[in-house]
Amino acid sequence: MGEDGSGGALHLLCLAANSGVPLFCRSSRGGAPTRQQLPFSVIGSLNGVHMFGQNLDVQLSSARTHDTTVVWRSFHGSITLIVLSSEEGVSELRLGRLLQAVFGAMVLLVGLEELTNIRNVERLKKELRASYCLIDSFLGDPELIGDLTQCVDCVIPPEGSLLQEALSGFAEATDTAFVSLVVSGRVVAATEGWWRLGMPEAVLLPWMVGSLPPQATRDYPVYLPHGSPTMLERWWQPLLDSLRACLPLGPRALPEGFPLHTDILGLLLLHLELKRCLFTVEPWADREPSPEQRRRLLRNFYALVTATHFPPELGTLEKADDTAYHAQLPRACYLVLGCEEPGAGWRLVALQLGPRRLLLLLSPQSPTHGLRDLASRTLQALTPLL
Protein backbone atom coordinates (compact mmCIF):
# COMPACT_ATOMS: atom_id res chain seq x y z
CA MET A 1 0.00 0.00 0.00
CA GLY A 2 3.00 2.31 0.28
CA GLU A 3 1.87 4.05 3.46
CA ASP A 4 5.50 5.01 4.03
CA GLY A 5 5.82 6.47 0.55
CA SER A 6 5.59 10.11 1.57
CA GLY A 7 9.25 10.62 0.66
CA GLY A 8 8.88 9.37 -2.91
CA ALA A 9 9.83 11.60 -5.84
CA LEU A 10 7.51 12.33 -8.75
CA HIS A 11 8.62 13.71 -12.12
CA LEU A 12 6.21 14.80 -14.85
CA LEU A 13 7.47 15.37 -18.39
CA CYS A 14 5.58 16.95 -21.26
CA LEU A 15 6.99 16.72 -24.77
CA ALA A 16 5.94 17.55 -28.30
CA ALA A 17 5.25 14.10 -29.75
CA ASN A 18 6.61 14.70 -33.24
CA SER A 19 9.86 16.46 -32.35
CA GLY A 20 10.48 15.18 -28.82
CA VAL A 21 11.12 18.76 -27.65
CA PRO A 22 10.42 19.09 -23.89
CA LEU A 23 7.63 21.57 -23.19
CA PHE A 24 7.92 21.46 -19.40
CA CYS A 25 9.05 19.34 -16.47
CA ARG A 26 7.39 19.48 -13.03
CA SER A 27 8.64 17.60 -9.98
CA SER A 28 7.69 16.97 -6.38
CA ARG A 29 9.17 15.10 -3.44
CA GLY A 30 7.17 14.05 -0.43
CA GLY A 31 4.19 15.97 -1.81
CA ALA A 32 6.08 19.30 -2.01
CA PRO A 33 7.16 20.98 -5.26
CA THR A 34 10.86 20.78 -6.03
CA ARG A 35 13.14 22.36 -8.59
CA GLN A 36 14.89 19.07 -9.26
CA GLN A 37 15.05 18.39 -13.00
CA LEU A 38 15.83 15.20 -14.86
CA PRO A 39 18.92 15.24 -17.12
CA PHE A 40 18.14 15.83 -20.77
CA SER A 41 19.71 12.46 -21.60
CA VAL A 42 17.16 10.70 -19.37
CA ILE A 43 14.28 12.66 -20.89
CA GLY A 44 15.51 11.80 -24.39
CA SER A 45 15.84 8.11 -23.53
CA LEU A 46 12.35 7.91 -22.03
CA ASN A 47 10.82 9.56 -25.06
CA GLY A 48 13.01 7.63 -27.49
CA VAL A 49 12.00 4.19 -26.24
CA HIS A 50 8.34 5.22 -26.47
CA MET A 51 8.73 6.48 -30.05
CA PHE A 52 10.69 3.35 -30.98
CA GLY A 53 7.76 1.21 -29.87
CA GLN A 54 5.27 3.33 -31.80
CA ASN A 55 7.31 2.93 -34.99
CA LEU A 56 6.92 -0.84 -34.56
CA ASP A 57 3.17 -0.57 -33.81
CA VAL A 58 3.88 -1.40 -30.16
CA GLN A 59 2.19 0.75 -27.53
CA LEU A 60 4.47 1.19 -24.53
CA SER A 61 2.27 2.23 -21.60
CA SER A 62 4.27 1.46 -18.45
CA ALA A 63 7.44 -0.04 -17.04
CA ARG A 64 8.89 -0.78 -13.61
CA THR A 65 12.43 -0.88 -12.27
CA HIS A 66 13.49 -1.88 -8.76
CA ASP A 67 12.68 1.60 -7.44
CA THR A 68 10.71 3.50 -10.10
CA THR A 69 7.43 3.19 -12.00
CA VAL A 70 7.13 4.91 -15.39
CA VAL A 71 3.91 5.54 -17.32
CA TRP A 72 3.61 7.01 -20.84
CA ARG A 73 0.53 8.49 -22.50
CA SER A 74 0.10 10.12 -25.93
CA PHE A 75 -2.72 12.58 -26.55
CA HIS A 76 -4.05 13.38 -30.03
CA GLY A 77 -0.73 12.36 -31.55
CA SER A 78 0.78 15.71 -30.57
CA ILE A 79 1.55 15.63 -26.84
CA THR A 80 3.42 12.95 -24.91
CA LEU A 81 3.22 12.91 -21.12
CA ILE A 82 5.56 10.78 -19.02
CA VAL A 83 5.44 10.36 -15.26
CA LEU A 84 8.08 8.71 -13.06
CA SER A 85 7.35 7.82 -9.44
CA SER A 86 9.64 6.33 -6.82
CA GLU A 87 6.83 5.95 -4.29
CA GLU A 88 6.71 2.39 -3.01
CA GLY A 89 3.72 0.45 -4.31
CA VAL A 90 2.35 3.23 -6.51
CA SER A 91 -0.24 1.90 -8.97
CA GLU A 92 -0.24 2.37 -12.73
CA LEU A 93 -3.93 3.27 -12.55
CA ARG A 94 -3.13 6.20 -10.28
CA LEU A 95 -0.31 7.46 -12.51
CA GLY A 96 -2.37 7.00 -15.67
CA ARG A 97 -5.22 9.06 -14.24
CA LEU A 98 -2.72 11.69 -13.14
CA LEU A 99 -1.63 12.09 -16.76
CA GLN A 100 -5.26 12.34 -17.91
CA ALA A 101 -5.86 15.11 -15.35
CA VAL A 102 -2.70 16.94 -16.42
CA PHE A 103 -3.67 16.93 -20.08
CA GLY A 104 -7.16 18.10 -19.13
CA ALA A 105 -5.60 21.00 -17.23
CA MET A 106 -3.52 21.91 -20.27
CA VAL A 107 -6.60 21.94 -22.49
CA LEU A 108 -8.57 23.93 -19.90
CA LEU A 109 -6.06 26.78 -19.80
CA VAL A 110 -4.46 26.69 -23.25
CA GLY A 111 -7.04 25.14 -25.58
CA LEU A 112 -6.98 21.96 -27.62
CA GLU A 113 -6.18 23.71 -30.88
CA GLU A 114 -2.89 25.05 -29.50
CA LEU A 115 -1.93 21.56 -28.32
CA THR A 116 -2.87 19.59 -31.42
CA ASN A 117 -1.53 22.06 -33.95
CA ILE A 118 1.78 23.25 -32.52
CA ARG A 119 3.05 26.11 -34.69
CA ASN A 120 5.55 27.70 -32.33
CA VAL A 121 7.08 25.57 -29.57
CA GLU A 122 8.54 28.49 -27.62
CA ARG A 123 5.23 30.33 -27.57
CA LEU A 124 3.44 27.18 -26.41
CA LYS A 125 5.95 26.78 -23.58
CA LYS A 126 5.11 30.29 -22.36
CA GLU A 127 1.36 29.70 -22.63
CA LEU A 128 1.60 26.45 -20.68
CA ARG A 129 3.03 28.31 -17.66
CA ALA A 130 -0.54 29.33 -16.86
CA SER A 131 -1.34 25.68 -16.12
CA TYR A 132 1.58 25.06 -13.72
CA CYS A 133 -0.33 25.99 -10.56
CA LEU A 134 -3.13 23.54 -11.36
CA ILE A 135 -0.75 20.81 -12.52
CA ASP A 136 1.42 21.16 -9.40
CA SER A 137 -1.66 20.66 -7.24
CA PHE A 138 -2.03 17.19 -8.78
CA LEU A 139 1.59 16.32 -7.98
CA GLY A 140 1.43 17.28 -4.32
CA ASP A 141 -0.56 15.83 -1.44
CA PRO A 142 -4.02 17.11 -2.38
CA GLU A 143 -6.96 17.24 -0.02
CA LEU A 144 -9.23 16.46 -2.98
CA ILE A 145 -9.51 13.10 -4.73
CA GLY A 146 -11.35 13.87 -7.98
CA ASP A 147 -8.11 13.63 -9.95
CA LEU A 148 -7.97 9.93 -9.06
CA THR A 149 -11.65 8.95 -8.90
CA GLN A 150 -12.70 11.13 -11.87
CA CYS A 151 -15.71 12.14 -9.77
CA VAL A 152 -16.46 15.66 -8.52
CA ASP A 153 -15.49 16.36 -4.90
CA CYS A 154 -18.60 17.55 -3.07
CA VAL A 155 -19.70 18.71 0.38
CA ILE A 156 -23.13 18.43 1.98
CA PRO A 157 -24.26 21.86 3.28
CA PRO A 158 -26.65 22.18 6.24
CA GLU A 159 -29.19 24.15 4.18
CA GLY A 160 -28.65 22.60 0.78
CA SER A 161 -32.20 23.03 -0.52
CA LEU A 162 -32.16 26.79 0.14
CA LEU A 163 -28.81 27.21 -1.58
CA GLN A 164 -29.89 25.07 -4.53
CA GLU A 165 -33.09 27.07 -4.99
CA ALA A 166 -31.21 30.37 -4.89
CA LEU A 167 -28.55 29.10 -7.26
CA SER A 168 -31.12 27.93 -9.80
CA GLY A 169 -32.93 31.25 -9.62
CA PHE A 170 -29.70 33.19 -10.02
CA ALA A 171 -28.70 31.10 -13.04
CA GLU A 172 -32.08 31.69 -14.68
CA ALA A 173 -31.92 35.44 -14.01
CA THR A 174 -28.42 35.69 -15.49
CA ASP A 175 -29.38 33.46 -18.44
CA THR A 176 -26.66 30.87 -17.89
CA ALA A 177 -26.87 27.11 -17.40
CA PHE A 178 -23.48 26.66 -15.73
CA VAL A 179 -23.34 27.90 -12.15
CA SER A 180 -21.88 26.32 -9.03
CA LEU A 181 -20.98 27.22 -5.46
CA VAL A 182 -17.54 25.98 -4.45
CA VAL A 183 -15.78 25.82 -1.08
CA SER A 184 -12.14 24.67 -0.83
CA GLY A 185 -12.38 23.16 -4.32
CA ARG A 186 -15.51 21.16 -3.43
CA VAL A 187 -18.95 21.73 -4.96
CA VAL A 188 -21.64 22.81 -2.50
CA ALA A 189 -24.45 23.21 -5.04
CA ALA A 190 -24.72 23.41 -8.82
CA THR A 191 -27.26 23.77 -11.58
CA GLU A 192 -28.41 20.82 -13.68
CA GLY A 193 -26.56 22.31 -16.64
CA TRP A 194 -23.33 22.41 -14.66
CA TRP A 195 -23.70 18.75 -13.69
CA ARG A 196 -24.10 17.89 -17.36
CA LEU A 197 -20.57 19.12 -18.04
CA GLY A 198 -18.46 16.22 -19.21
CA MET A 199 -15.42 14.86 -17.50
CA PRO A 200 -12.90 16.25 -16.83
CA GLU A 201 -14.42 19.75 -16.88
CA ALA A 202 -16.67 19.20 -13.87
CA VAL A 203 -13.66 17.97 -11.88
CA LEU A 204 -11.10 20.48 -13.13
CA LEU A 205 -13.07 23.71 -12.71
CA PRO A 206 -13.65 23.53 -8.93
CA TRP A 207 -10.17 22.01 -8.49
CA MET A 208 -8.68 25.03 -10.28
CA VAL A 209 -10.59 27.43 -8.03
CA GLY A 210 -9.37 25.56 -4.97
CA SER A 211 -5.75 25.56 -6.18
CA LEU A 212 -5.50 29.35 -6.57
CA PRO A 213 -3.45 31.14 -3.87
CA PRO A 214 -5.30 33.52 -1.53
CA GLN A 215 -3.86 36.64 -3.18
CA ALA A 216 -4.33 35.52 -6.79
CA THR A 217 -6.10 37.83 -9.21
CA ARG A 218 -9.81 37.22 -9.45
CA ASP A 219 -12.68 38.20 -11.72
CA TYR A 220 -15.15 40.16 -9.61
CA PRO A 221 -18.90 40.41 -10.17
CA VAL A 222 -20.10 43.88 -11.20
CA TYR A 223 -23.39 45.66 -10.96
CA LEU A 224 -24.76 46.81 -14.31
CA PRO A 225 -26.10 50.33 -13.71
CA HIS A 226 -29.07 49.82 -15.98
CA GLY A 227 -29.50 46.09 -16.47
CA SER A 228 -29.06 44.59 -12.98
CA PRO A 229 -28.05 47.11 -10.32
CA THR A 230 -29.27 44.95 -7.40
CA MET A 231 -29.11 41.39 -8.72
CA LEU A 232 -26.55 39.95 -6.30
CA GLU A 233 -28.30 41.36 -3.23
CA ARG A 234 -31.62 40.02 -4.48
CA TRP A 235 -30.44 36.41 -4.62
CA TRP A 236 -27.69 36.11 -2.04
CA GLN A 237 -28.23 38.73 0.68
CA PRO A 238 -30.96 36.65 2.38
CA LEU A 239 -28.64 33.62 2.36
CA LEU A 240 -25.45 35.15 3.77
CA ASP A 241 -25.68 33.06 6.95
CA SER A 242 -26.19 29.88 4.92
CA LEU A 243 -23.21 30.74 2.72
CA ARG A 244 -21.03 31.43 5.75
CA ALA A 245 -22.06 28.06 7.19
CA CYS A 246 -20.50 26.40 4.12
CA LEU A 247 -17.03 27.87 4.71
CA PRO A 248 -15.90 25.44 7.44
CA LEU A 249 -17.26 22.43 5.54
CA GLY A 250 -14.26 22.07 3.22
CA PRO A 251 -12.29 19.00 4.27
CA ARG A 252 -15.11 17.82 6.58
CA ALA A 253 -17.48 17.31 3.61
CA LEU A 254 -20.29 16.06 5.89
CA PRO A 255 -22.75 18.21 7.86
CA GLU A 256 -21.81 19.08 11.43
CA GLY A 257 -22.94 16.38 13.82
CA PHE A 258 -23.44 13.69 11.18
CA PRO A 259 -23.23 10.39 13.09
CA LEU A 260 -20.20 8.27 12.23
CA HIS A 261 -18.88 5.25 14.10
CA THR A 262 -15.95 6.14 16.36
CA ASP A 263 -13.72 3.64 14.52
CA ILE A 264 -14.01 5.57 11.22
CA LEU A 265 -10.92 7.71 10.58
CA GLY A 266 -11.65 8.52 6.93
CA LEU A 267 -14.15 7.74 4.20
CA LEU A 268 -14.63 8.01 0.46
CA LEU A 269 -18.12 7.64 -0.99
CA LEU A 270 -18.53 7.60 -4.77
CA HIS A 271 -21.69 7.73 -6.83
CA LEU A 272 -20.43 6.29 -10.11
CA GLU A 273 -23.56 7.23 -12.04
CA LEU A 274 -23.65 10.89 -10.95
CA LYS A 275 -19.82 11.12 -11.01
CA ARG A 276 -19.75 12.74 -7.56
CA CYS A 277 -17.88 11.83 -4.39
CA LEU A 278 -17.54 12.70 -0.72
CA PHE A 279 -14.05 12.46 0.74
CA THR A 280 -13.04 13.27 4.30
CA VAL A 281 -10.31 12.34 6.76
CA GLU A 282 -11.59 14.75 9.41
CA PRO A 283 -13.42 12.34 11.79
CA TRP A 284 -11.57 12.19 15.11
CA ALA A 285 -8.73 14.33 13.76
CA ASP A 286 -6.87 14.18 17.07
CA ARG A 287 -6.03 10.48 16.59
CA GLU A 288 -3.35 8.74 14.56
CA PRO A 289 -2.58 8.56 11.69
CA SER A 290 -2.23 12.17 10.52
CA PRO A 291 -4.67 13.60 7.94
CA GLU A 292 -1.92 13.43 5.29
CA GLN A 293 -1.33 9.74 6.01
CA ARG A 294 -5.07 9.05 6.00
CA ARG A 295 -5.49 10.65 2.58
CA ARG A 296 -2.55 8.69 1.24
CA LEU A 297 -3.91 5.40 2.59
CA LEU A 298 -7.38 5.94 1.12
CA ARG A 299 -6.03 7.10 -2.26
CA ASN A 300 -3.79 4.04 -2.49
CA PHE A 301 -6.61 1.74 -1.37
CA TYR A 302 -8.95 3.21 -3.99
CA ALA A 303 -6.36 2.63 -6.72
CA LEU A 304 -5.86 -0.94 -5.52
CA VAL A 305 -9.52 -1.97 -5.37
CA THR A 306 -10.41 -0.21 -8.61
CA ALA A 307 -7.60 -1.87 -10.51
CA THR A 308 -7.96 -5.37 -9.05
CA HIS A 309 -11.39 -5.94 -7.48
CA PHE A 310 -14.19 -3.66 -8.63
CA PRO A 311 -15.08 -2.85 -12.24
CA PRO A 312 -14.05 0.72 -13.00
CA GLU A 313 -16.90 1.51 -15.39
CA LEU A 314 -20.39 2.61 -14.43
CA GLY A 315 -23.08 -0.01 -14.26
CA THR A 316 -20.94 -3.08 -14.77
CA LEU A 317 -22.32 -4.63 -11.62
CA GLU A 318 -25.95 -4.00 -12.45
CA LYS A 319 -26.04 -4.26 -16.24
CA ALA A 320 -23.81 -7.21 -17.07
CA ASP A 321 -25.62 -9.62 -19.38
CA ASP A 322 -23.56 -12.63 -18.37
CA THR A 323 -25.22 -14.02 -15.23
CA ALA A 324 -22.21 -16.11 -14.27
CA TYR A 325 -19.90 -13.11 -14.62
CA HIS A 326 -22.33 -11.00 -12.63
CA ALA A 327 -22.36 -13.54 -9.79
CA GLN A 328 -18.56 -13.63 -9.56
CA LEU A 329 -18.03 -9.90 -9.20
CA PRO A 330 -16.90 -8.96 -5.68
CA ARG A 331 -19.09 -6.76 -3.52
CA ALA A 332 -16.68 -6.14 -0.63
CA CYS A 333 -13.03 -6.47 0.32
CA TYR A 334 -10.81 -5.45 3.19
CA LEU A 335 -7.15 -4.97 3.95
CA VAL A 336 -5.21 -4.87 7.22
CA LEU A 337 -1.94 -2.96 7.19
CA GLY A 338 0.36 -4.83 9.53
CA CYS A 339 -0.51 -7.81 11.73
CA GLU A 340 -4.12 -8.82 12.37
CA GLU A 341 -3.65 -8.99 16.10
CA PRO A 342 -6.30 -7.14 18.14
CA GLY A 343 -5.45 -3.46 18.39
CA ALA A 344 -2.81 -3.51 15.64
CA GLY A 345 -2.90 -2.51 11.97
CA TRP A 346 -5.11 0.04 10.23
CA ARG A 347 -8.22 -1.47 8.65
CA LEU A 348 -9.39 -0.55 5.14
CA VAL A 349 -12.70 -1.85 3.80
CA ALA A 350 -14.50 -1.27 0.48
CA LEU A 351 -18.14 -2.01 -0.31
CA GLN A 352 -19.88 -1.82 -3.69
CA LEU A 353 -23.66 -1.56 -3.82
CA GLY A 354 -25.34 -0.52 -7.05
CA PRO A 355 -23.83 2.75 -8.31
CA ARG A 356 -22.31 3.54 -4.89
CA ARG A 357 -18.87 2.54 -3.69
CA LEU A 358 -17.74 3.19 -0.12
CA LEU A 359 -14.18 3.02 1.20
CA LEU A 360 -13.45 3.34 4.91
CA LEU A 361 -10.25 3.75 6.91
CA LEU A 362 -10.77 2.29 10.38
CA SER A 363 -8.83 2.27 13.61
CA PRO A 364 -6.82 -0.81 14.69
CA GLN A 365 -9.42 -1.49 17.39
CA SER A 366 -12.11 -2.30 14.79
CA PRO A 367 -12.56 -6.12 14.63
CA THR A 368 -12.08 -7.60 11.17
CA HIS A 369 -15.18 -9.79 11.46
CA GLY A 370 -17.35 -6.68 11.79
CA LEU A 371 -15.91 -4.62 8.92
CA ARG A 372 -18.56 -5.47 6.33
CA ASP A 373 -21.44 -4.83 8.74
CA LEU A 374 -19.96 -1.48 9.75
CA ALA A 375 -19.44 -0.51 6.09
CA SER A 376 -23.01 -1.54 5.22
CA ARG A 377 -24.52 0.52 8.04
CA THR A 378 -22.36 3.52 7.13
CA LEU A 379 -23.34 3.30 3.46
CA GLN A 380 -27.00 3.10 4.43
CA ALA A 381 -26.64 6.28 6.50
CA LEU A 382 -24.77 8.12 3.73
CA THR A 383 -27.03 7.08 0.83
CA PRO A 384 -29.57 9.94 1.29
CA LEU A 385 -26.72 12.47 1.00
CA LEU A 386 -25.29 11.25 -2.32
Residue 233: band (very low, low, confident or very high) from pLDDT cuts 50, 70, 90: low
* Residue-wise pLDDT tens digits, 318-362: 444 555 555 567 889 999 987 656 667 899 999 999 899 999 999
pLDDT of 92-105, one tens digit each? Answer: 999 999 999 999 99
Q: Considering the domain 5-141, what is its CATH architecture?
A: 2-Layer Sandwich (3.30)
**Distance in angstroms (rounded) separating the CA atoms of residues 65 and 143:** 29
* 263-385 CATH: 3.30.450
Residue 91 and residue 307 in contact, taking contact as beta carbons nearer than 8 Å: yes
Q: What CA–CA distance (Å, rounded) separates 291 from 312?
A: 26
The CA-based dihedral angle spanning residues 47, 52, 57, 59, taken in that order and rounded to the nearest 10 degrees: -30
DSSP code for 198: P
Q: How far apart are CA 377 and CA 271, in angstroms?
A: 17
Helix (H) or strand (E) holding 139: helix 132-139
Q: Which residues contact 327 (CB under 8 A, 6 or more apart)?
A: none
CB 230 within 8 A of CB 238: no
Neighbours of 108 (CB within 10 A): 18
- What is the mean predicted confidence (pLDDT) over 71-91? 92
Q: What is the pTM of this model?
A: 0.84
Dist. CA 370–CA 261, nearest whole Å: 12
Among 378, 295, 384, 364, which Cα is nearest to 332's?
378
Domain layout of the chain by residue ranges: 5-141, 158-214+231-248, 263-385
Q: What is the pLDDT of residues 143-167, one digit of tens each?
A: 899 999 999 999 998 888 889 998 9
SS3 label, residue 196: coil
Local confidence band at 69 (pLDDT 50, 70, 90 cut-offs)? very high
- Whether cis (ω within 30° of 0) applies to the bond prior to 200 is yes
Q: What is the model's pLDDT at position 341?
A: 63
pLDDT digits (tens, 9 = 90+) for 250-308: 788 888 788 899 999 999 999 999 999 999 998 877 788 899 999 999 999 999 999 88
Q: Are strands 346-353 and 332-337 parallel, antiparallel or unpaired?
A: antiparallel
Q: Within a 10 A sphere around the Cβ of 121, how many other Cβ atoms? A: 12
pLDDT of the residue at 323: 54
Q: What does the alpha-carbon distance between residue 313 and residue 270 come to, in Å, rounded to a whole number?
A: 12
3-state secondary structure of 71: strand
186-190 vs 264-271, strand pairing mode: unpaired
Same fold? 5-141, 263-385: yes
- Residue 235, number of CB atoms within 10 A of its CB: 17
On the question of pLDDT at 19 being above 80, the answer is yes
Per residue in 356-369, pLDDT (tens digit) is 999 999 999 898 88
User: Collapsing DSSP states into helix, strand and coil, what is residue 15?
Assistant: strand
Q: Which helix (H) or strand (E) element contains residue 75? A: strand 69-75
Beta bridge partners of 154: 187
Give helix 92-110 / helix 121-128 axis angle, nearest 10°. 100
